[in-house]
Structure 1
Amino acid sequence: MQSLAAKIASNSIVRKSMALILGYSAWIMVADSHITRVSLDVPIYLYNSQSDQISTPNHTLVTLSGARERLAHLDWNEVAFHADAHTADPAEATIELWPTDILLPSGINVVDYKPAQVRLTKIVA
């Protein structure tokens, strides 16, 4: 006499359905945790700057890496460099950009960005 569990396990349709569900679940877990890269233009915002200073260029190309799921849920409008204008080299009027100047959630990292320095210019009225 076969038990109910043995009868269900021997059913071909049930086995195929279970294999399909397990395979799809495994694919979702692997696909969402896959590390990927994305490049985008992000603005540069200055703080501690004089009112007549602006940065040139005012955008930089940034490459980020992280899990596909985390990158998909990132609000791209909030990604920006926040650079301290007070740290500008007075002789050259340039600011060095650092990966820590971008506020990102954990699990997303800065791979590259260009330019790494921006020149400050004064607005002439």
Structure 2
Amino acid sequence: MILVDYLYYQITNFYHHFEKDGTHKASGIIGACTLLSFNLIFVLMFLDHFYDMNTLPSNKYIVIIYCLPIILLMSLRYWKFTSYEEIKEKVNGFSKTTKIIADVLVISYTIISFFGLLILSLYVGTLKNTF
């Protein structure tokens, strides 16, 4: 099992506590796609700012089009090929040490993905928009 599967599983479990109408699986897919899209945007911003590769378009909404393959592939994977129940069976077979390591990796991946993009965007934004 890969880290993205475990990330999807944990996000789905988090939303399962709040959403009792069965939409927790869709929320898990949206959360996992969001974090992967954050990573893609971070890489594009990093290459654009530090290496002058012009990877980001001038219109900020076109960046969403760059994220469409991630969204389509992730939703296809978790709706058609790998279900939440299959991942749950694999996670139940994990030892306690493996679960702790996987939890630490998922938490650190989430924090780095979110705050890494936030810090880089604040840095780039303050350099471009000096008052």
Pick the structure with more strand per residue: 1
Return the structure number with greater relative CO, CA threshold 8 A, min gap 6. 2
Higher-Rg member (1/2): 1
Give the TM bin, normalised by the shorter chain: under 0.3
Pick the structure with more helix per residue: 2
The TM-score normalised by the length of structure 1 is 0.21
The TM-score normalised by the length of structure 2 is 0.20
